[in-house]
Amino acid sequence: APEPLRDHKPQQAPRGPARPSMAAALPALALGAGLLVAAWRWLWGAARPRRGGSMRGKTVIITGANSGLGRAAAAELLRMQARVIMGCRDRARAERAAREIQAEVGERADDAGELVVRELDLASLRSVRAFCHRVLQEESRLDVLINNAGIFQCPYMKTEDGFEMQFGVNHLGHFLLTNLLLGLLKNSAPSRIVVVSSKLYKYGEINFEDLNSEISYNKSFCYSRSKLANILFARELARRLEGTGVTVNSLHPGIVRTNLGRHVNIPLLAKPLFNLVSWAFFKTPLEGAQTSIYLASSPDVEGVSGKYFGDCKEEELLPKAMDDLVARKLWDISEVMVGLLKKKAEVKEKTEKKAPQINILPRNVEYQAVIKEKACLSDEHNQQCSLPPCDIVPVPGPSENFIKSNKTLTLAVIPLVSQVRHPELD
């Protein structure tokens, strides 16, 4: 009998060795690329610091000097024998960092500089004023101010004074700090101001209708806006300080491995790959701090002001970062926000009371003399009061303020109607 039919399956070709998946290959590729980048940096000396001359006898303030770029800059400037004041929010962390820096420098006390820790919270205008008050009391000179501290893409929160955190810390805090220390910097000229910005300024816009991000908030955009504000501030300050001997320059450090991105959420599974990529392609803090150190110490940039640097070289800015009208408007608004404008108005008012302006009384116009709230009318020819006599208040010299109103001039006080003359009128 014929055999029953059976199901026959086609024979499969023998399998070869399993091929690695693309996901498994990515770490290997990243590691290989990282090794190549590390080798290139070593061969071309990218990791070697570029020091300027000796900083002996010079005082440097660095904000945010307990970690990252600020810490690296503090260590290098200490090696260059500078007196470095670390302005930091957390005093305990700053003192720990100072001990570590001094241990790393490891040089004899007479060869190294001096490291000083001072509390400074840029999210508090009160703290900024207290820091500056102490500096002005204790320091006889200030040669370099490095505005380094910053906060990066944090959730929406406000400073002690009610400002959006990134704009408040990155721009307004440093704006007030710099203005309060300008007198000491001018007295110490030639001196330098270094403003640490970011390449991400390119994605920011200055929206004067919502500087405090109360209408809308995007943490990436707000960071970029604060970095654009840094550049505009530096350029406007450089313009205002022309001829004083104080130079102002801004910079970007590049992409650096620091704790600045602590508010950036990276998926847990992606962290190993991110760490590998950052190790391979990001700068170390010392590499990132090189442009700050260069602008603070190098004789190559003596007298250079109002420029933007990266990798110790001058770079071009986008037009929006060179808009002088926006820079001046931002300056004026920042003065109001941090309370500088009110202080200036008070000082001006006191000065005017002590030494009033002298304005010249024009010829052939009627004028009115207001004395003890009584009035006299006269003209230049007859110099007689057409109203009953007034009480006369003697004033030493022509120190009156004249305010023109139509064809009549109102005088605050005058000695005698007949004596209201000025040598330039004769």
Please spell the DSSP secondary structure of 70-95, one letter per residue. Answer: HHHHHHHHHHTT-EEEEEES-HHHHH
* 250 occurs within a structural domain: yes
Phi-psi group of 264: left, alpha or beta (phi > 0 → left; psi -120 to 50 → alpha; rest → beta): beta
> 382 by DSSP, 3-state: which?
coil
Cβ 248 vs Cβ 186: under 8 Å: no
> 216 by DSSP, 3-state: which?
coil
pTM given for the model? 0.70
List the structure tokens of 33. 């690329």
List the structure tokens of 78. 């200490």
* 417 occurs within a structural domain: no
Phi, psi of 145 (to 5 degrees): -120, 120
Contacts of 8 by beta carbon, 8 Å cutoff, 6+ apart: none
State how far the Cα of 246 lies from the Cα of 322, in Å rounded to an integer.
Answer: 20
In which domain, by residue range, is 77 found? 49-338
* 282 occurs within a structural domain: yes
Check the CA dihedral 303-304-305-309 and report its sign. negative
Taking Cα atoms as reference points, which of 99, 57, 92, 93 lies closest to residue 77? 57
Could you give the residue numbers annotated as active site?
A: 223
* 277 occurs within a structural domain: yes
* 81 occurs within a structural domain: yes
* 35 occurs within a structural domain: no
* 389 occurs within a structural domain: no
Contacts of 98 by beta carbon, 8 Å cutoff, 6+ apart: 66, 86, 115, 117
> 190 by DSSP, 3-state: which?
coil
Phi, psi of 350 (to 5 degrees): -65, -40
State how far the Cα of 159 lies from the Cα of 121, in Å rounded to an integer.
Answer: 10
Q: What is the CA radius of gyration of the chain?
A: 33
Number of domains making up the chain = 1
> 53 by DSSP, 3-state: which?
coil
| Percentages (nearest 5) of helix, strand, coil residues in the chain | 45, 15, 40
In CATH, what number is assigned to the domain containing residue 211? 3.40.50.720
* 306 occurs within a structural domain: yes
The position carrying tokens 């590049």 is 254
Name the residue type at position 350: K
State how far the Cα of 71 lies from the Cα of 50, in Å rounded to an integer.
Answer: 16
How would you write the pLDDT of the chain (426 residues) with one tens digit per residue?
A: 555 545 555 555 555 555 555 555 555 555 555 555 555 454 444 444 555 678 999 999 999 999 999 999 999 999 999 999 999 999 999 999 999 999 998 855 557 799 999 999 999 999 999 999 999 999 999 999 999 999 988 999 999 999 999 999 999 999 999 999 999 999 999 999 999 999 999 999 999 999 999 999 999 999 999 999 999 999 999 999 999 999 999 999 988 765 544 545 555 555 555 555 555 556 889 999 999 999 999 999 999 999 999 999 999 999 999 999 999 999 999 999 999 987 666 666 665 555 444 344 444 444 344 433 334 444 444 344 443 444 433 333 333 333 333 333 333 433 333 333 333 333
The CA-atom distances, in angstroms, between 7 and each of 1, 11, 78, 413 are 19, 12, 85, 122
Name the residue type at position 246: V
